[in-house]
Amino acid sequence: MHNEIIIGGFGGQGILFLGKVLATAGMLEGYHVSWFPSYGPEMRGGTANCTVIISDQEIGATISDHPHIVVAMNEPSLFRFAPSLKEGGLLLINSSLVEKEYQKEGIEIAKIPANQLAGKVVNNPKTLNMVVLGALIGYRPILPLSQVHRALEECLAGKEGLIEKNNQALETGWQYACQGGVTHVSQR
């Protein structure tokens, strides 16, 4: 078990939190994990990304040159990170914000209208990150969903009021992925 995951998007989309929940879930499942954010001058409107590594071995570098999974929450991060995807990797796209098509041989591409699902189904646009995380686990079950729910609760300690909606968002994304939501698969 070794997965390197890059999550990229705008600041304010909850990218770093998504990564933290994912890494916490990996930790609870007994794996080695690391989380590494992009950091820089405090300018607004910039991009944010983070790298999460979940592995059964001690983790070396906490950045990834060839990730197994890229989550593109917006267009700039799609074109920045997708080209480095490993053969057989998963590219998960937030189709609510990404209109352009992306082609790369030997990877799997999945799309989820995360903003719409968060807004219309969960009724809380801020939960889009958890919709995406649920979908990620649905497409690539690298961790049990139950562990992700536990991790979410741990990460929201002190903000218990937010747990219910976020759990619902996870579930929504997961179901969307499991019910054949893959809209495009490119194969060699």
Applying CB under 6 A, the span of 12-20, 21-29, 42-50, 161-169 interacting with ligand SF4 comes to: 42-50
Residue 105 binds ligand SF4, judged by CB under 6 A: no
Residue that the structure tokens 């189709």 belong to:
95
Binding test (CB under 8 A) with another protein, winner from 58, 99, 105, 160: 58
Looking at beta carbons only, is 10 or 102 nearer to ligand SF4?
A: 10
φ/ψ region of 6 (left if φ > 0, alpha if ψ in -120 to 50, else beta) reads beta
Q: Which of 22, 176, 6, 179 is nearest to 89 (CA)?
A: 6
Residue 185 binds ligand SF4, judged by CB under 6 A: no
For helices 128-139 and 145-155, the axis angle rounded to 10 degrees is 150
State the nearest-atom distance from the C-beta of 85 to another protein, in Å: 16
Binding test (CB under 8 A) with another protein, winner from 5, 15, 18, 23: 23
Q: Could you tell me if 139 and 128 are in contact, meaning their C-beta atoms sit under 8 angstroms apart?
A: no
Rounded-to-integer distance, Cα 50 and Cα 114, Å: 18
Applying CB under 8 A, the span of 39-47, 67-75, 124-132, 171-179 interacting with another protein comes to: 39-47
Rounded-to-integer distance, Cα 154 and Cα 147, Å: 10
Looking at beta carbons only, is 24 or 95 nearer to another protein?
A: 24
Looking at beta carbons only, is 43 or 185 nearer to ligand SF4?
A: 43
Binding test (CB under 6 A) with ligand SF4, winner from 39, 42, 158, 180: 42
Spatial neighbors of 99 by CB under 8 A, at least 6 apart, are 75
Interface size with another protein, residues (CB under 8 A): 25
Q: Could you tell me if 173 and 117 are in contact, meaning their C-beta atoms sit under 8 angstroms apart?
A: yes
Q: From the centroid of its chain, how far is CA 105?
A: 21
Looking at beta carbons only, is 64 or 127 nearer to another protein?
A: 64
Looking at beta carbons only, is 54 or 114 nearer to another protein?
A: 54
Q: Which residues bind another protein (CB under 8 A)?
A: 20, 23-24, 27, 32-37, 39-45, 57-63, 65
